[in-house]
Structure 1
Amino acid sequence: MPLSPPVPERAQRLLAQLERYGSRENGQLAVARSLLQEHPGLPLTGFAISSSMRPEPGRPLHSLILRVGEHDTEGITAWARALGTEPVIDGARYRLDTAVDGIGIWAAATLPEDAYDMEQAVFIPSGDDVSFTHRGLLVTEFGEDGDLLFIGHPPVREVLATTSAYYRDTCGQRLSAFDGHVLADSITRGWGRFVAYPTRTEWQFRRVSEDTPGALPVTWMYAQEGHTQDLGSLDRCPACGRPSRGLDYQSETGQRVHACPSPACRHQWPATDVPRLSPIPAATEHRQDDCAALATR
């Protein structure tokens, strides 16, 4: 277990650090002082505080977070037992979750990979482990660029249909190819393993060869390689009458406009159902960071 600095010196430093958070009125400072006095030998590198606007029933409004080493699960266990409880163990994650004098006490540490049975952590995902299902396919967002990961090797048409539905329903966008490519060019197939590390809800994915134990067929859709266009309410082009949901920007004014999807028309007209925004360059190709943030795995 890591050694801590001499008790008086450490206590003064940690309390001075905590006082900067202005937590005196909420009780965290008093509890922190009590913990340092009663358990001077336990590992501790710092404090943090948190408050909940709407705590769950029976949960404290204000909490004190104990900072121990990232992988110091022994320290979490020692703190838990010193406070009359046991650590909550979820996979490789050890958590302290208790309360002292009405103040929640939290801490967490994770077993390093070389100290955890990673082979036993390999699992076959279900619908509860991925972002969404569509037409029986298990799909999850992968990375921060709007890419999608399919479990299995479904037909190309199913991958494209699911990708289109995801961008339309989740992101409010139409996705199309660019630079002379087709969207099918962005599909890659391979094999991988899903590993419940540090926990099943925070799993990792690792590419492996087909003959690796626990390997599953997977398909990547690198959707950030395409054009995107925001979708609005259905309207008809006043020039050719074609229905359109596509939205664009006028680079000079920053105003949102409808855009006719017909290659022979490409007419634009004001979009009255969306607010006027500040001028920005017309954007037809961009990363999907905002879109990916809309959905959680």
Structure 2
Amino acid sequence: MPLSPPAPQRAQQLLAQLERYGSRENGQLAVGRRLLQDHPDLPLTGFAISRSICPEPGRPLHSLILRVGEHDTDGITAWARALGTEPVIDGARYRLDTALDGIGIWASATIPEDRYDMDAAVFVLTADDVSFTLRGLLVTEFGEDGDLLFIGHPPVREVLATTSAYYRDTCGQRLSAFDGHVLADSITRGWGRFVAYPTRTEWQIRSASEDTPGALPVTWMYAQDGHTQDLGFDRCPACRRPSRGLDYHSETGQRVHVCPSPACRHQWPFTDAPLPSPIPVGTEYRQDHRAALATC
């Protein structure tokens, strides 16, 4: 039994899928039909569409994303060459980035770990690889809970000072301990290897022993174990209770103060937001880095 339907049936299925989402007016449907007609033997499991809100000069407004296998780098190469270009190779990732009849054509696939030289991908981080530098330390955010990763084993007081500055200047919050703990309890030290997989900008950290080639000292600050407060301060105009609480109005979506008193819970406009604290000299922030964590 064949693993996929014959080419004509496959093309009809993919076109029907695209017609549910694509627009005849912007040309995506016509380009999809042309790709299926001109290249029926190339790997393709589906389409996705995208529209750029603010495209860069010379970049298409509308695009088609070709879905090939997650690890089918040969398929990406075949599509690129069929469309008169070459794949863009960044580490283990192969990307198709071209245009046809004014429609962007995108696709990507990644060499699986068991076929990639992970040892050769180990590297030493620089300031360009982390979220920011502060007090001479390389620091990056990881996860979605506000945790921080420091490169090295800096003194506890430096870790706490940097964490406090990050929450104050970047998040507009004050971080404090709770449940009888101190923030220093949230600091963990170890060793890890940084691997440029799938790419250098999406690196992974893998736990390692101190004597592992390429291992670096690292310090984790599990700030999610702390309690955060917004830096804003005001008094409730209804009951005069001091309040640091901020929220979003359920209907307007505007930022508002909210009274902490259960008997009041009054909300009033947030019009006197304090200016953010100055960022210390020597601090550089980079918001485009995304760190992926892995353990072994």
TM range (shorter): 0.7 to 0.9
Deviation string for 1:18-61 (max 9, x for gaps)?
00014111111111111111111000000011111221111111
Is the deviation greater in 244-253 or in 102-111? Answer: 244-253
Contact 1:167 1:174 (C-alpha < 8 Å) held by counterparts: yes
Provide TM-score, normalisation by structure 2: 0.81
Aligned to 1:249: 260
> Equivalent pairs: percent with the same residue?
82
Distance (whole Å) between structure 1 residues aligned to residue 4 and residue 42 of structure 2 = 8
Deviations 1:145-202 (A, max 9, x none): 1111000000000000000001111111111111222111111110001110000011
SS of 1:161's equivalent in the other structure is helix
Q: Map 1:71-220; keep pairs closer than 5 Å.
A: 71-220=71-220
Q: Show structure 1 runs of 5+ residues with no match.
A: 237-243, 258-269, 275-293
Cα distance in 2, alignment partners of residues 168 and 245 from structure 1: 18
Task: Flag the 1:226–1:256 CA change in 2: closer, same or farther, 3 A.
Answer: farther
Q: Distance in 2 between matches of 1:245 and 1:85?
A: 60
Is residue 22–residue 49 contact of structure 2 (8 Å, CA) maintained in 1?
Answer: no
Structure 2 residue ranges without an equivalent (≥5): 236-241, 246-258, 274-285, 290-296
2:114 and 2:265 map into 1 onto residues whose CA distance is 53
CA deviation map 1:51-101 (0-9, x unaligned): 112211111111111000000000000000111110000000000011111
How far apart are the structure 2 equivalents of 1:154 and 1:32?
A: 55
> Closer, same or farther in 2 for the Cα pair 1:255/1:158, shift >3 Å?
farther
Query: How far 1:251 moved relative to its partner?
Result: 3.2
Provide the secondary structure at the position in 2 that maps to 1:89.
Answer: strand
Tell me the residue number matched to 1:273.
Answer: 272
Distance 2:230 2:110 in 1: 41
CA offset at residue 256 of structure 1? 6.3
SS at structure 1 position matched to 2:220 = strand
Aligned residues: 257
Alignment partner of 2:224: what SS?
helix
- The one-letter amino acid paired with 1:146 is G
Residues 74 and 184 (structure 1), Cα distance of their counterparts in 2 relative to 1, 3 Å cut: same
User: Displaced runs of 4+ in structure 1, greater than 2 A?
Assistant: 2-5, 244-257, 270-274, 294-297
* CA offsets 1:196-227 (integer angstroms, 9 cap, x no match): 00000111111111111100000011111111
Shift of 1:3: 7.1
| Greater length-normalized contact order (CA 8 Å, ≥ 6 residues apart) | 2
Does structure 1 conserve the Cα–Cα contact (< 8 Å) formed by 2:48 and 2:65?
Answer: yes
Partner of 2:21, secondary structure, is coil
Distance (Å, rounded) in 2 between the aligned partners of 1:90 and 1:17: 30
Distance 1:25 1:83, change over 3 A: same
CA distance in 1 between partners of 2:187 and 2:267 (Å): 32
What is the CA–CA distance in structure 1 between the aligned matches of 2:21 and 2:86, rounded to whole Å? 29
Contact preservation (8 Å) 1:139, 1:151: yes
